[in-house]
Protein backbone atom coordinates (compact mmCIF):
# COMPACT_ATOMS: atom_id res chain seq x y z
CA UNK A 1 0.00 0.00 0.00
CA UNK A 2 2.96 2.31 -0.19
CA UNK A 3 1.51 4.00 -3.20
CA UNK A 4 -1.55 4.88 -1.21
CA UNK A 5 0.19 6.36 1.77
CA UNK A 6 0.00 10.03 2.39
CA UNK A 7 3.51 11.50 2.27
CA UNK A 8 5.42 8.73 4.05
CA UNK A 9 7.17 6.29 1.85
CA UNK A 10 10.23 5.06 3.75
CA UNK A 11 8.98 1.61 4.63
CA UNK A 12 7.48 1.04 1.26
CA UNK A 13 10.81 1.90 -0.27
CA UNK A 14 12.72 -0.70 1.70
CA UNK A 15 10.13 -3.28 0.82
CA UNK A 16 10.19 -2.12 -2.75
CA UNK A 17 13.97 -2.30 -2.92
CA UNK A 18 14.04 -5.92 -1.79
CA UNK A 19 11.46 -6.85 -4.35
CA UNK A 20 13.36 -4.92 -6.98
CA UNK A 21 16.54 -6.83 -6.40
CA UNK A 22 14.72 -10.14 -6.64
CA UNK A 23 12.95 -9.02 -9.72
CA UNK A 24 16.05 -7.82 -11.52
CA UNK A 25 17.75 -11.17 -11.41
CA UNK A 26 15.13 -12.60 -13.68
CA UNK A 27 14.88 -9.73 -16.00
CA UNK A 28 17.27 -9.47 -18.87
CA UNK A 29 14.82 -7.23 -20.54
CA UNK A 30 15.88 -4.25 -18.55
CA UNK A 31 19.40 -4.47 -19.76
CA UNK A 32 18.20 -4.60 -23.29
CA UNK A 33 16.04 -1.63 -22.61
CA UNK A 34 19.00 0.29 -21.27
CA UNK A 35 21.02 -0.67 -24.27
CA UNK A 36 18.23 0.62 -26.44
CA UNK A 37 18.65 4.05 -25.03
CA UNK A 38 22.23 4.13 -26.09
CA UNK A 39 21.82 2.24 -29.26
CA UNK A 40 22.95 4.29 -32.21
CA UNK A 41 19.68 3.34 -33.85
CA UNK A 42 17.44 4.83 -31.21
CA UNK A 43 19.66 7.81 -30.50
CA UNK A 44 20.24 10.33 -33.19
CA UNK A 45 23.99 10.91 -33.08
CA UNK A 46 26.89 10.55 -30.62
CA UNK A 47 30.22 8.82 -30.86
CA UNK A 48 29.97 5.02 -30.73
CA UNK A 49 32.77 4.66 -28.15
CA UNK A 50 31.10 7.02 -25.76
CA UNK A 51 27.79 5.38 -26.29
CA UNK A 52 29.19 1.99 -25.33
CA UNK A 53 30.87 3.40 -22.25
CA UNK A 54 27.70 5.10 -21.24
CA UNK A 55 25.88 1.88 -21.86
CA UNK A 56 28.09 -0.08 -19.50
CA UNK A 57 27.88 2.50 -16.78
CA UNK A 58 24.21 2.72 -17.21
CA UNK A 59 23.77 -1.02 -16.99
CA UNK A 60 25.58 -1.10 -13.67
CA UNK A 61 23.47 1.72 -12.46
CA UNK A 62 20.38 -0.12 -13.56
CA UNK A 63 21.40 -3.18 -11.61
CA UNK A 64 21.65 -0.99 -8.58
CA UNK A 65 18.45 0.85 -8.71
CA UNK A 66 16.20 -0.27 -11.42
CA UNK A 67 15.67 3.14 -12.86
CA UNK A 68 16.43 1.42 -16.09
CA UNK A 69 13.33 2.21 -17.97
CA UNK A 70 13.37 3.71 -21.37
CA UNK A 71 12.47 7.30 -21.17
CA UNK A 72 9.20 7.84 -22.76
CA UNK A 73 10.34 10.34 -25.26
CA UNK A 74 13.10 8.14 -26.56
CA UNK A 75 11.31 6.64 -29.44
CA UNK A 76 9.11 9.60 -29.95
CA UNK A 77 12.24 11.53 -30.77
CA UNK A 78 13.64 8.80 -32.91
CA UNK A 79 10.32 8.30 -34.60
CA UNK A 80 9.84 11.86 -35.62
CA UNK A 81 13.36 12.04 -36.95
CA UNK A 82 13.05 8.77 -38.76
CA UNK A 83 9.52 9.10 -39.92
CA UNK A 84 10.31 10.22 -43.40
CA UNK A 85 12.98 7.64 -43.82
CA UNK A 86 10.74 4.87 -42.57
CA UNK A 87 8.02 5.77 -44.95
CA UNK A 88 10.44 5.71 -47.83
CA UNK A 89 11.72 2.34 -46.72
CA UNK A 90 8.21 1.00 -46.38
CA UNK A 91 7.59 1.67 -50.01
CA UNK A 92 10.38 -0.64 -51.00
CA UNK A 93 9.65 -3.49 -48.70
CA UNK A 94 9.10 -2.49 -45.12
CA UNK A 95 12.45 -1.49 -43.60
CA UNK A 96 14.12 -3.19 -40.65
CA UNK A 97 11.99 -5.72 -38.86
CA UNK A 98 8.89 -5.18 -40.90
CA UNK A 99 7.08 -7.38 -43.35
CA UNK A 100 9.94 -9.16 -44.97
CA UNK A 101 8.23 -10.89 -47.80
CA UNK A 102 7.74 -9.29 -51.16
CA UNK A 103 6.83 -5.67 -51.49
CA UNK A 104 3.75 -4.53 -49.66
CA UNK A 105 2.34 -1.66 -51.57
CA UNK A 106 -1.32 -0.84 -51.86
CA UNK A 107 -2.70 -2.46 -54.99
CA UNK A 108 -0.06 -5.12 -55.36
CA UNK A 109 -1.87 -7.44 -52.97
CA UNK A 110 -5.12 -7.55 -54.91
CA UNK A 111 -4.35 -10.95 -56.33
CA UNK A 112 -4.21 -12.49 -52.87
CA UNK A 113 -7.56 -13.84 -51.89
CA UNK A 114 -7.95 -13.58 -48.16
CA UNK A 115 -4.64 -13.55 -46.37
CA UNK A 116 -2.64 -10.41 -46.44
CA UNK A 117 0.10 -8.72 -44.53
CA UNK A 118 0.22 -4.99 -44.78
CA UNK A 119 1.77 -2.01 -43.09
CA UNK A 120 -1.09 -1.06 -40.77
CA UNK A 121 0.81 2.06 -39.68
CA UNK A 122 4.34 3.36 -39.90
CA UNK A 123 4.95 1.47 -36.66
CA UNK A 124 3.13 -1.78 -37.31
CA UNK A 125 2.68 -4.65 -39.75
CA UNK A 126 -0.50 -6.66 -39.48
CA UNK A 127 -1.58 -9.87 -41.20
CA UNK A 128 -5.16 -11.06 -41.31
CA UNK A 129 -6.32 -14.37 -42.71
CA UNK A 130 -9.36 -16.64 -42.67
CA UNK A 131 -9.61 -20.25 -43.73
CA UNK A 132 -7.70 -23.24 -42.42
CA UNK A 133 -5.32 -21.73 -39.87
CA UNK A 134 -2.86 -23.91 -37.91
CA UNK A 135 -0.51 -22.34 -35.41
CA UNK A 136 2.73 -24.06 -34.42
CA UNK A 137 4.06 -21.87 -31.66
CA UNK A 138 7.35 -23.71 -31.20
CA UNK A 139 8.51 -22.65 -34.62
CA UNK A 140 6.64 -19.32 -34.80
CA UNK A 141 4.75 -20.57 -37.83
CA UNK A 142 1.18 -20.08 -38.92
CA UNK A 143 0.12 -22.50 -41.68
CA UNK A 144 -2.73 -21.04 -43.67
CA UNK A 145 -4.93 -22.19 -46.50
CA UNK A 146 -5.61 -20.47 -48.74
CA UNK A 147 -2.40 -18.45 -48.88
CA UNK A 148 -0.42 -17.72 -51.99
CA UNK A 149 2.95 -16.79 -50.62
CA UNK A 150 5.02 -16.83 -47.48
CA UNK A 151 5.14 -13.78 -45.22
CA UNK A 152 7.35 -12.84 -42.31
CA UNK A 153 6.38 -10.37 -39.63
CA UNK A 154 7.45 -9.22 -36.17
CA UNK A 155 4.26 -8.65 -34.18
CA UNK A 156 5.27 -5.61 -32.11
CA UNK A 157 4.41 -1.97 -32.79
CA UNK A 158 7.87 -0.39 -33.21
CA UNK A 159 8.77 -1.38 -36.71
CA UNK A 160 10.89 1.71 -37.26
CA UNK A 161 13.02 0.77 -34.26
CA UNK A 162 15.43 -1.98 -35.25
CA UNK A 163 16.66 -2.36 -31.70
CA UNK A 164 13.23 -2.99 -30.23
CA UNK A 165 12.46 -5.38 -33.09
CA UNK A 166 15.63 -7.35 -32.47
CA UNK A 167 13.97 -8.43 -29.23
CA UNK A 168 10.84 -9.60 -30.99
CA UNK A 169 10.60 -13.03 -32.57
CA UNK A 170 9.82 -13.17 -36.25
CA UNK A 171 6.73 -15.13 -37.29
CA UNK A 172 6.20 -16.87 -40.61
CA UNK A 173 2.91 -17.31 -42.41
CA UNK A 174 3.17 -20.30 -44.75
CA UNK A 175 0.82 -21.71 -47.38
CA UNK A 176 -0.60 -25.01 -46.25
CA UNK A 177 -0.94 -27.65 -48.92
CA UNK A 178 -1.53 -31.40 -48.86
CA UNK A 179 0.44 -32.20 -52.00
CA UNK A 180 3.97 -31.27 -51.04
CA UNK A 181 5.16 -33.22 -47.96
CA UNK A 182 7.43 -30.32 -47.03
CA UNK A 183 4.42 -28.09 -46.53
CA UNK A 184 2.04 -30.82 -45.42
CA UNK A 185 -0.56 -29.78 -42.89
CA UNK A 186 0.37 -30.55 -39.29
CA UNK A 187 -2.49 -32.32 -37.50
CA UNK A 188 -4.59 -30.17 -35.24
CA UNK A 189 -4.29 -31.08 -31.58
CA UNK A 190 -6.67 -28.32 -30.46
CA UNK A 191 -9.53 -26.78 -32.43
CA UNK A 192 -10.85 -23.37 -31.53
CA UNK A 193 -13.73 -21.30 -32.81
CA UNK A 194 -12.09 -18.07 -31.62
CA UNK A 195 -9.85 -15.85 -33.72
CA UNK A 196 -6.17 -16.37 -33.04
CA UNK A 197 -4.24 -13.19 -32.25
CA UNK A 198 -0.46 -13.37 -32.33
CA UNK A 199 1.41 -10.55 -30.59
CA UNK A 200 4.76 -10.09 -28.89
CA UNK A 201 5.54 -8.71 -25.46
CA UNK A 202 9.24 -8.37 -26.24
CA UNK A 203 10.63 -5.02 -27.37
CA UNK A 204 10.51 -2.29 -24.75
CA UNK A 205 7.87 -3.77 -22.47
CA UNK A 206 8.43 -3.22 -18.76
CA UNK A 207 8.20 0.54 -19.02
CA UNK A 208 4.55 1.54 -18.50
CA UNK A 209 4.59 4.02 -21.37
CA UNK A 210 5.75 1.31 -23.76
CA UNK A 211 3.43 -1.25 -22.21
CA UNK A 212 0.48 0.89 -23.18
CA UNK A 213 1.56 2.60 -26.35
CA UNK A 214 3.33 -0.40 -27.94
CA UNK A 215 1.23 -3.32 -26.73
CA UNK A 216 -1.92 -2.77 -24.68
CA UNK A 217 -3.60 -0.06 -26.74
CA UNK A 218 -2.68 -1.68 -30.09
CA UNK A 219 -3.95 -5.01 -28.70
CA UNK A 220 -7.20 -3.29 -27.79
CA UNK A 221 -7.45 -1.76 -31.27
CA UNK A 222 -7.15 -5.23 -32.78
CA UNK A 223 -9.04 -7.35 -30.25
CA UNK A 224 -11.98 -5.22 -29.11
CA UNK A 225 -14.08 -5.98 -32.18
CA UNK A 226 -14.09 -9.73 -31.39
CA UNK A 227 -16.01 -9.20 -28.14
CA UNK A 228 -13.95 -11.78 -26.26
CA UNK A 229 -13.91 -14.42 -29.02
CA UNK A 230 -10.19 -14.00 -29.51
CA UNK A 231 -7.30 -16.03 -28.18
CA UNK A 232 -4.10 -14.18 -27.29
CA UNK A 233 -1.07 -16.12 -28.49
CA UNK A 234 1.78 -14.23 -26.87
CA UNK A 235 5.29 -14.51 -28.25
CA UNK A 236 8.30 -13.43 -26.14
CA UNK A 237 5.98 -14.23 -23.25
CA UNK A 238 7.04 -13.07 -19.78
CA UNK A 239 4.76 -14.33 -17.06
CA UNK A 240 5.44 -11.37 -14.74
CA UNK A 241 4.40 -9.00 -17.49
CA UNK A 242 1.27 -10.89 -18.47
CA UNK A 243 0.29 -11.21 -14.81
CA UNK A 244 0.76 -7.50 -14.34
CA UNK A 245 -1.90 -6.81 -16.94
CA UNK A 246 -3.94 -10.00 -16.60
CA UNK A 247 -7.16 -8.15 -15.83
CA UNK A 248 -6.87 -6.37 -19.16
CA UNK A 249 -6.35 -9.61 -21.08
CA UNK A 250 -9.28 -11.15 -19.26
CA UNK A 251 -11.40 -8.21 -20.32
CA UNK A 252 -10.43 -8.53 -23.98
CA UNK A 253 -10.55 -12.31 -24.24
CA UNK A 254 -12.62 -15.18 -22.88
CA UNK A 255 -9.61 -17.44 -23.21
CA UNK A 256 -6.39 -17.90 -21.29
CA UNK A 257 -3.31 -16.15 -22.60
CA UNK A 258 -1.03 -18.69 -24.30
CA UNK A 259 2.77 -18.65 -23.95
CA UNK A 260 2.95 -19.53 -27.60
CA UNK A 261 6.72 -19.91 -28.09
CA UNK A 262 6.68 -22.76 -25.56
CA UNK A 263 3.53 -24.39 -26.82
CA UNK A 264 3.67 -27.97 -28.09
CA UNK A 265 0.20 -27.94 -29.61
CA UNK A 266 -0.93 -27.43 -33.15
CA UNK A 267 -3.72 -24.95 -32.58
CA UNK A 268 -6.31 -24.67 -35.31
CA UNK A 269 -8.59 -21.74 -36.02
CA UNK A 270 -10.74 -20.33 -38.77
CA UNK A 271 -9.19 -16.90 -38.60
CA UNK A 272 -6.01 -15.28 -37.41
CA UNK A 273 -4.52 -11.84 -36.86
CA UNK A 274 -0.74 -11.63 -36.61
CA UNK A 275 0.55 -8.33 -35.26
CA UNK A 276 -1.46 -5.63 -33.47
CA UNK A 277 -2.20 -2.34 -35.20
CA UNK A 278 -0.79 0.97 -34.04
CA UNK A 279 -2.69 4.23 -34.49
CA UNK A 280 -1.03 6.96 -32.47
CA UNK A 281 0.89 7.58 -29.26
CA UNK A 282 -1.26 6.39 -26.34
CA UNK A 283 -4.24 6.62 -28.60
CA UNK A 284 -6.89 5.08 -30.79
CA UNK A 285 -8.00 6.62 -34.07
CA UNK A 286 -11.72 5.92 -33.89
CA UNK A 287 -12.14 6.52 -37.62
CA UNK A 288 -9.94 3.52 -38.30
CA UNK A 289 -11.72 1.05 -35.99
CA UNK A 290 -14.50 -1.22 -37.29
CA UNK A 291 -17.27 0.28 -35.17
CA UNK A 292 -15.79 3.63 -34.25
CA UNK A 293 -14.45 2.65 -30.85
CA UNK A 294 -11.99 5.03 -29.27
CA UNK A 295 -9.87 5.85 -26.24
CA UNK A 296 -13.13 6.44 -24.38
CA UNK A 297 -13.90 2.75 -24.86
CA UNK A 298 -10.35 1.75 -23.96
CA UNK A 299 -10.64 3.66 -20.71
CA UNK A 300 -14.06 2.16 -19.99
CA UNK A 301 -12.47 -1.26 -20.54
CA UNK A 302 -9.72 -0.36 -18.03
CA UNK A 303 -12.30 0.72 -15.46
CA UNK A 304 -14.02 -2.61 -15.88
CA UNK A 305 -10.77 -4.53 -15.69
CA UNK A 306 -9.54 -2.86 -12.50
CA UNK A 307 -12.88 -2.11 -10.87
CA UNK A 308 -12.47 1.67 -11.06
CA UNK A 309 -15.53 3.50 -9.85
CA UNK A 310 -15.18 6.96 -11.27
CA UNK A 311 -16.00 7.48 -14.92
CA UNK A 312 -15.99 11.24 -14.38
CA UNK A 313 -14.27 13.67 -12.00
CA UNK A 314 -17.26 14.74 -9.95
CA UNK A 315 -17.42 15.63 -6.29
CA UNK A 316 -19.23 13.35 -3.91
CA UNK A 317 -22.86 14.34 -3.34
CA UNK A 318 -22.44 14.20 0.43
CA UNK A 319 -20.86 17.45 1.60
CA UNK A 320 -19.36 15.77 4.68
CA UNK A 321 -17.76 13.07 2.58
CA UNK A 322 -14.01 13.47 2.25
CA UNK A 323 -14.53 13.05 -1.49
CA UNK A 324 -16.27 16.39 -1.50
CA UNK A 325 -12.84 17.96 -1.70
CA UNK A 326 -10.98 17.62 -4.99
CA UNK A 327 -8.08 15.23 -4.73
CA UNK A 328 -4.63 16.08 -6.06
CA UNK A 329 -2.20 13.26 -6.70
CA UNK A 330 1.50 14.02 -6.87
CA UNK A 331 3.39 11.46 -8.94
CA UNK A 332 6.69 11.11 -7.18
CA UNK A 333 10.07 10.17 -8.66
CA UNK A 334 13.22 9.28 -6.78
CA UNK A 335 16.48 9.31 -8.67
CA UNK A 336 15.97 11.81 -11.44
CA UNK A 337 13.45 14.54 -12.15
CA UNK A 338 12.41 14.38 -8.51
CA UNK A 339 10.44 17.13 -6.82
CA UNK A 340 12.77 18.41 -4.10
CA UNK A 341 10.02 20.32 -2.31
CA UNK A 342 7.28 17.74 -2.50
CA UNK A 343 6.04 18.29 1.02
CA UNK A 344 5.82 22.04 0.58
CA UNK A 345 3.97 21.48 -2.69
CA UNK A 346 1.53 19.23 -0.88
CA UNK A 347 1.02 21.78 1.92
CA UNK A 348 0.38 24.51 -0.62
CA UNK A 349 -2.16 22.32 -2.43
CA UNK A 350 -3.89 21.54 0.86
CA UNK A 351 -4.16 25.25 1.58
CA UNK A 352 -6.08 25.55 -1.69
CA UNK A 353 -8.56 22.95 -0.47
CA UNK A 354 -7.13 19.86 -2.11
CA UNK A 355 -7.07 16.47 -0.48
CA UNK A 356 -3.46 15.58 -1.36
CA UNK A 357 -1.94 12.17 -2.03
CA UNK A 358 1.54 11.22 -3.12
CA UNK A 359 2.08 8.13 -5.24
CA UNK A 360 5.24 6.57 -6.47
CA UNK A 361 4.56 4.04 -9.19
CA UNK A 362 7.32 1.61 -10.00
CA UNK A 363 7.67 -1.78 -11.55
CA UNK A 364 6.64 -3.59 -8.37
CA UNK A 365 3.59 -1.44 -7.69
CA UNK A 366 0.40 -3.40 -8.04
CA UNK A 367 -1.29 -2.03 -11.14
CA UNK A 368 -4.86 -2.28 -9.92
CA UNK A 369 -4.07 -0.65 -6.57
CA UNK A 370 -2.32 2.21 -8.26
CA UNK A 371 -5.07 2.46 -10.84
CA UNK A 372 -7.60 2.92 -8.04
CA UNK A 373 -5.50 5.65 -6.45
CA UNK A 374 -5.20 7.50 -9.77
CA UNK A 375 -8.88 7.04 -10.50
CA UNK A 376 -9.71 8.63 -7.13
CA UNK A 377 -7.80 11.77 -8.12
CA UNK A 378 -9.17 14.87 -9.83
CA UNK A 379 -5.78 16.39 -10.57
CA UNK A 380 -2.56 14.50 -11.23
CA UNK A 381 0.75 16.33 -11.28
CA UNK A 382 4.15 14.92 -12.11
CA UNK A 383 7.41 15.58 -13.89
CA UNK A 384 7.63 14.23 -17.43
CA UNK A 385 8.25 10.48 -17.28
CA UNK A 386 6.69 7.08 -17.72
CA UNK A 387 4.73 7.46 -14.46
CA UNK A 388 2.42 9.94 -16.17
CA UNK A 389 1.12 7.06 -18.29
CA UNK A 390 -1.14 6.46 -15.29
CA UNK A 391 -3.28 9.21 -16.76
CA UNK A 392 -5.18 6.40 -18.50
CA UNK A 393 -6.87 5.74 -15.14
CA UNK A 394 -7.95 9.33 -14.44
CA UNK A 395 -11.67 9.96 -14.61
CA UNK A 396 -12.97 12.04 -17.51
CA UNK A 397 -12.80 15.75 -16.76
CA UNK A 398 -9.76 15.34 -14.50
CA UNK A 399 -6.69 17.51 -14.98
CA UNK A 400 -3.19 16.35 -15.84
CA UNK A 401 -0.39 18.77 -15.00
CA UNK A 402 2.83 17.79 -16.74
CA UNK A 403 5.88 19.43 -15.22
CA UNK A 404 8.36 19.88 -18.05
CA UNK A 405 12.01 19.73 -16.97
CA UNK A 406 14.36 22.57 -17.93
CA UNK A 407 15.95 22.32 -21.36
CA UNK A 408 13.56 23.08 -24.20
CA UNK A 409 11.65 19.81 -23.83
CA UNK A 410 8.19 21.08 -24.70
CA UNK A 411 8.15 18.99 -27.91
CA UNK A 412 8.81 15.86 -25.85
CA UNK A 413 6.06 16.74 -23.40
CA UNK A 414 3.68 17.33 -26.29
CA UNK A 415 4.26 14.05 -28.14
CA UNK A 416 4.05 11.85 -25.08
CA UNK A 417 1.32 13.10 -22.74
CA UNK A 418 -0.12 16.39 -23.99
CA UNK A 419 -1.49 15.21 -27.31
CA UNK A 420 -3.07 11.99 -25.99
CA UNK A 421 -4.94 13.85 -23.22
CA UNK A 422 -7.84 15.25 -25.25
CA UNK A 423 -8.96 11.85 -26.59
CA UNK A 424 -8.95 10.69 -22.98
CA UNK A 425 -11.21 13.64 -22.09
CA UNK A 426 -8.59 14.93 -19.70
CA UNK A 427 -7.76 18.62 -19.25
CA UNK A 428 -4.09 19.28 -19.77
CA UNK A 429 -1.92 21.90 -18.09
CA UNK A 430 1.80 22.34 -18.26
CA UNK A 431 4.30 23.75 -15.81
CA UNK A 432 7.64 24.45 -17.46
CA UNK A 433 10.65 24.44 -15.14
CA UNK A 434 12.72 27.60 -15.32
CA UNK A 435 16.40 28.14 -14.70
CA UNK A 436 16.01 29.02 -11.03
CA UNK A 437 13.92 25.91 -10.38
CA UNK A 438 16.32 23.27 -11.66
CA UNK A 439 19.29 21.64 -9.95
CA UNK A 440 21.15 21.98 -13.25
CA UNK A 441 21.80 25.60 -12.33
CA UNK A 442 23.81 24.33 -9.35
CA UNK A 443 25.74 21.78 -11.41
CA UNK A 444 26.81 23.97 -14.30
CA UNK A 445 28.43 27.41 -14.49
CA UNK A 446 26.08 30.25 -15.40
CA UNK A 447 27.33 30.58 -18.95
CA UNK A 448 27.42 26.85 -19.72
CA UNK A 449 25.56 25.89 -22.92
CA UNK A 450 23.50 23.44 -20.85
CA UNK A 451 21.90 26.44 -19.17
CA UNK A 452 22.28 29.11 -21.82
CA UNK A 453 21.65 27.22 -25.02
CA UNK A 454 19.72 23.92 -24.65
CA UNK A 455 19.28 23.67 -28.40
CA UNK A 456 23.04 23.22 -28.78
CA UNK A 457 22.79 20.16 -26.50
CA UNK A 458 19.80 18.89 -28.47
CA UNK A 459 21.98 19.05 -31.58
CA UNK A 460 24.40 16.56 -30.02
CA UNK A 461 21.71 13.93 -30.17
CA UNK A 462 19.28 12.13 -27.97
CA UNK A 463 21.88 10.57 -25.66
CA UNK A 464 23.39 13.93 -24.76
CA UNK A 465 20.01 15.52 -24.28
CA UNK A 466 18.76 12.67 -22.15
CA UNK A 467 21.87 12.45 -19.98
CA UNK A 468 21.79 16.14 -19.16
CA UNK A 469 18.16 17.14 -19.03
CA UNK A 470 16.42 13.91 -18.06
CA UNK A 471 18.93 12.00 -15.94
CA UNK A 472 20.81 14.73 -14.08
CA UNK A 473 17.99 17.05 -13.23
CA UNK A 474 15.82 17.45 -10.17
CA UNK A 475 13.33 20.26 -9.79
CA UNK A 476 12.06 22.65 -7.14
CA UNK A 477 9.01 24.45 -8.51
CA UNK A 478 8.27 27.95 -7.23
CA UNK A 479 5.34 27.51 -4.90
CA UNK A 480 3.89 30.87 -5.87
CA UNK A 481 3.94 30.12 -9.57
CA UNK A 482 2.84 26.51 -9.14
CA UNK A 483 -0.06 27.74 -7.05
CA UNK A 484 -1.39 29.58 -10.09
CA UNK A 485 -1.34 26.34 -12.07
CA UNK A 486 -3.08 24.46 -9.27
CA UNK A 487 -5.73 27.19 -9.11
CA UNK A 488 -6.21 26.94 -12.84
CA UNK A 489 -6.72 23.19 -12.40
CA UNK A 490 -9.30 23.84 -9.69
CA UNK A 491 -11.24 26.08 -12.05
CA UNK A 492 -11.44 23.27 -14.60
CA UNK A 493 -13.05 20.92 -12.08
CA UNK A 494 -16.77 20.78 -11.34
CA UNK A 495 -15.99 20.94 -7.59
CA UNK A 496 -15.63 24.69 -7.50
CA UNK A 497 -18.94 25.30 -9.24
CA UNK A 498 -21.29 23.25 -7.09
CA UNK A 499 -21.66 25.52 -4.08
C1 LIG B 1 -10.26 -30.63 -35.32
O2 LIG B 1 -11.11 -30.46 -36.42
C3 LIG B 1 -10.79 -31.32 -37.51
C4 LIG B 1 -11.65 -30.92 -38.71
O5 LIG B 1 -12.97 -30.77 -38.29
C6 LIG B 1 -10.95 -32.77 -37.11
O7 LIG B 1 -10.63 -33.62 -38.18
C8 LIG B 1 -10.05 -33.02 -35.92
O9 LIG B 1 -10.25 -34.35 -35.45
C10 LIG B 1 -10.28 -32.06 -34.80
N11 LIG B 1 -9.26 -32.22 -33.80
C12 LIG B 1 -9.49 -32.19 -32.49
C13 LIG B 1 -8.32 -32.42 -31.60
O14 LIG B 1 -10.59 -31.97 -32.03
Nearest CA to ligand 1 atom 7: 188
Nearest CA to ligand 1 atom 2: 191
**Please, which pLDDT band fits residue 181 given cuts at 50, 70 and 90?**
low
**pLDDT given for residue 100 in this prediction:** 56
Rounded Cα distance, 145 and 134, in Å: 9
**Contact status, residue 354 vs residue 326, Cβ threshold 8 Å:** yes
Return the pLDDT at 363. 73
pLDDT of residue 342: 97
Query: Who contacts 206 (Cβ-Cβ below 8 Å, separation ≥6)?
Result: 27, 29, 30, 33, 69, 241, 363
- Nearest by Cα to 164 from 215, 121, 102: 215
Ligand 1, pocket-test mutation among 132, 143, 178, 188, most atoms within 8 A of CB: 188
252 Cα to the center of ligand 1, angstroms: 26
As a 3-state breakdown, the chain gives helix, strand, coil percent values, each rounded to 5, of: 45, 20, 40
Percent share of the chain, pLDDT over 90: 69
Instruction: Answer yes or no: is pLDDT of 42 > 60.
Output: no
Tens-place pLDDT, residues 122-149 = 999 999 999 999 999 999 999 998 998 9
Assess contact for 94 and 125: CB atoms under 8 A. Answer: yes
Question: DSSP state, 396?
Answer: B
Q: pLDDT tier at 496 (50, 70, 90 boundaries)?
A: low
What's the CATH number of domain 308-497, 1.10.3470, 3.30.70, 3.40.50, 2.60.40?
3.40.50
Residue with the smallest CA separation from ligand 1 atom 5 is 191
117 CA distance to ligand 1 middle (Å): 27
Pocket test for ligand 1, best of 135, 191, 266 (most atoms within 8 A of CB): 191
Question: What is the spatial distance between Cα 81 and Cα 99, in angstroms, rounded to a whole number?
Answer: 21
Report the separation in Å between the CA atom of 268 and the middle of ligand 1, taken as the mean of its atom positions: 8
Instruction: Answer yes or no: are the C-beta atoms of 484 and 350 closer than 8 Å.
Output: no
State in Å: Cα 138 to ligand 1 middle: 20
Alpha helices of 166-292 — where are they, by DSSP H? 208-210, 217-223, 239-244, 246-252
Determine the distance separating the centroid of ligand 1 and the alpha carbon of 258, expressed in angstroms.
20
How many A from CA of 186 to the centre of ligand 1? 12
CA of 154 to the centre of ligand 1 (A): 29
Q: Which of 109-118, 201-210, 273-282, 283-292 has the lowest mean pLDDT?
A: 109-118
Query: Is the beta carbon of 188 within 6 A of some atom in ligand 1?
Result: yes
Protein residue with least CA distance to atom 8, ligand 1: 188
Question: Is the minimum distance from the CB of 351 to ligand 1 under 6 angstroms?
Answer: no
Three-state secondary-structure class, residue 49: helix
Span from the CA of 467 to the centroid of ligand 1 (angstroms): 57
Query: Which residue's CA is minimally distant from atom 1 of ligand 1?
Result: 191
Summarize pLDDT for 325-346 with one digit per residue, the tens.
999 999 999 989 999 999 999 9
In the reported structure, the alpha carbon of residue 190 is separated from the centroid of ligand 1 by a whole-number distance in angstroms of 7
Q: Are 416 and 79 in contact (CB under 8 A)?
A: no
Residues 6+ apart with CB under 8 A from 491: none
Global pTM?
0.79
Q: Please check the confidence at residue 152 and state whether its pLDDT lies above 70.
A: yes
pLDDT for 179? 61
Instruction: Give dist(CA 403, CA 489) in Å, integer.
Output: 13
Please tell me the predicted confidence (pLDDT) of residue 426: 98
**Ligand 1: residue whose CA is nearest its atom 9:** 188
DSSP notation for 180-198 = SGGGPPPPPSEE-SSEEEE
- Atom number, ligand 1, closest to the C-alpha of residue 189: 13
Q: Is the pLDDT of residue 292 over 80?
A: yes
Locate the ligand 1 atom nearest the alpha carbon of residue 190 and give its number: 13
Instruction: Give the pLDDT mean for 89-101.
Output: 42
Residues spanned by CATH 3.40.50 within the chain? Answer: 308-497
CA-268 nearest atom, ligand 1: 1
Distance 403 CA to ligand 1 centre (A): 58
Residue nearest to atom 6 of ligand 1 (CA): 188
**From the CA of 187, how far away is ligand 1's center (Å)?**
8
Q: 171 and 140 in contact (C-beta within 8 Å)?
A: yes
Compute the average pLDDT of residues 435-443: 97
User: What is the arithmetic mean of pLDDT over 172-181?
Assistant: 78
Sequence-separated (6 or more) residues with CB below 8 Å from residue 448: none
191 C-alpha vs ligand 1 centroid, how far in Å? 6
Across 90-116, average pLDDT: 45
* Ligand 1 contacts CB of residue 316 (under 6 A): no
pLDDT at residue 86 tops 60: no
| 77, 119, 136, 146, 350 from 128: Cα distances, Å | 30, 12, 17, 12, 53
Say what the pLDDT of residue 76 is. Answer: 44
In tens, the pLDDT along 342-364 reads 999 999 999 999 999 999 987 77
Cα-to-chain-centroid distance, residue 474: 23
pLDDT at 29 over 50: no
d(CA 196, CA 129): 10
Amino acid sequence: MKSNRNLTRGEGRRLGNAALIAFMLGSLLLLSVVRARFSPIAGAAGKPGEAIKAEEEEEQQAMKKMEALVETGDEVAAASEEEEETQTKAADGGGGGGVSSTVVVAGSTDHLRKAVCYESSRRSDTCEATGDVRVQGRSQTVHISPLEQEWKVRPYCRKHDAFAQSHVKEWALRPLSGADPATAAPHCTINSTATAFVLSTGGFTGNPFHDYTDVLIPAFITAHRFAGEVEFLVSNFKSWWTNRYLQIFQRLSKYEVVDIDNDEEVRCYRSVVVGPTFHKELGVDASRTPSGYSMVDFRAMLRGAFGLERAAAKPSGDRWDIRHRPRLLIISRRTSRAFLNERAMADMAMSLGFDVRVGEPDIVTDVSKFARLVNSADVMVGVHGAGLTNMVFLPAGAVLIQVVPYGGLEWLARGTFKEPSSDMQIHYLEYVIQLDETTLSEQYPKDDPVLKDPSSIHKQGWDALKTVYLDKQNVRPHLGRLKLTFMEALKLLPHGHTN
